[in-house]
Amino acid sequence: MIERLGRPLEELIPVAQVHRLRWGWLGMMIGGTLVLIPWIVYLAFALPDSYLVHGWTATWVGFDVLLAGLMAMTVVLGLLRRQLMLLTAFATGVLLLCDAWFDLMTAGPDDFWVSVLTAALADVPLA
């Protein structure tokens, strides 16, 4: 293990492959962040009035705002190549898995398959 840590990265993985992986991952995070912003605005206006009375609108919108903030911070720290990005990436992944779980557990019968597809194609892979 110590030998591997002492070896230059380009001996383990070609530099071009590392750059492709890094930019592919950052591209997905940037895209996810940009998609989440209009979704938050839509959610704030589309949730029923009964959610507003019980405070659920603020909960759902606040959760997505926190998720978007962590995703954006992960992108910024990734572009700056800061190690702190590992913490924001981990937190983002946990929130994405929680988002998928909450969406599946709170989906109505008509929305269940949309929640399954969203979880399978967006939340879980990005996490």
Q: pLDDT tens track of the chain, all 127 residues?
A: 555 566 676 777 788 888 898 898 889 899 999 999 999 999 888 877 777 666 777 888 899 999 999 999 999 999 998 999 999 999 999 999 999 998 898 888 888 998 899 889 988 988 8
Q: Which of 65, 55, 112, 32 is nearest to 47 (CA)?
A: 55
Q: Please list the alpha-helical segments (H only) found in 47-84.
A: 49-54, 56-79
User: How many degrees, rounded to 5, is the angle at CA 88 between CA 86 and CA 94?
Assistant: 100
**DSSP per-residue letters across 101-127:** HHHHHH--TTTHHHHHHHIIIIIHHH-
Contacts of 106 (CB under 8 A, 6+ apart): none
pTM above 0.85, yes or no: no
**Are 51 and 60 spatial neighbours (Cβ–Cβ below 8 Å)?**
yes
